Copies of this chain bind each other. A is one copy, B any other.
């Protein structure tokens, strides 16, 4: 049996919610979900990728979302949809609905008298600072820190251990995962005879609507102006976004990536895992950066950019690296 659902549907009711026709016994109950390769009776699954055809043919899943062209090749109840993967994702939203919002403030939370948290939930060991505003429908889980003069929109979720420091502004429907830090000081210093002199970081962080920010990710406040995260931006875990960075709407950034200070990333970009973008650059809209790639100059043309040393056995690598070092002794052509 796969993952037990939180809410029961039969095949007919689910198909109706998805606006999709079905074939077979519509009264079959969906009690759990699973991927195609491991689904068993009781499960809802989906078949989309042709390379899983063999698994689809032999599947014992009770209900399968399939394309019309595949519907007659597979057994069990079939829900017919032109984009099975998308329909399955919508089904998950129905089968695992978000728990009802209960707007209570734990007596083990600390909310400043001047803060407004009407309609929000604040769990144990969390604090909300002076003059901060938390929108209705927002859930502040346990051990979250919301500093002074912060604004959090409506229907957000702040998972345990999130830190939103003074003055940061977050839009509506944002999800911020455990341990993320928004609004720490940017890394700004000036050299002096006595070492580094800290430059006060007086900007803040402004996050748009529908943004998701991963666990233990850090987004620094601006030096003078703000660090700005656009609407619909999705940021994975352990990403570092430095001061004054601006990220355009609907850009997605995978884990372990670093974006250095004052760089501007366009809209709808996709930045692969462990990429590194140097400071003071400008990346235009619709750029794809491959994982592990360091971007050291601005990019003005959409497209995919890559810079990764090809991986081989260590033995072959030592040969390649040796030849490469010798390249500087070759004459320039």
Contacts and interface: CB of A to CB of B under 8 A. Distances in A.
Given A38-B225, A218-B214, A238-B238, A179 B200 contact: no
A37 to B, nearest CB: 9
A255 B160 contact: no
Given A179-B179, A216-B216, A273-B276, A312 B291 contact: no
A202 B34 CA distance: 10
Contact of A306 (B203, B240, B260, B317): B317
Given A179-B181, A258-B256, A307-B311, A237 B234 contact: no
B294 A292 contact: yes
Interface stretch (A14-22, A61-69, A72-80, A325-333): A325-333
A304 B311 contact: no
Measured as residues with beta carbon below 8 angstroms from the partner, the interface class of chain A is 35 or more
Given A215-B218, A215-B220, A303-B313, 19 more contacts: A34-B224, A110-B124, A110-B125, A125-B143, A143-B143, A145-B161, A147-B160, A181-B237, A184-B214, A195-B210, A196-B234, A196-B250, A236-B242, A292-B294, A305-B314, A309-B324, A316-B328, A320-B328, A324-B324
6 contacts: A3-B224, A92-B199, A159-B165, A255-B258, A290-B314, A307-B308
Interface of A: 2-3, 33-35, 38, 85-86, 89, 92-93, 96, 108, 110, 124-125, 127, 141-143, 145, 147, 159-161, 163, 165, 175, 177-179, 181, 184-185, 187, 189-190, 194-200, 202-203, 210, 212, 214-216, 218, 220, 224-225, 231-232, 234, 236-238, 240, 242, 249-250, 252, 254-256, 258, 260, 273-274, 276, 278, 288, 290-297, 303-314, 316-321, 323-328, 330, 332-333
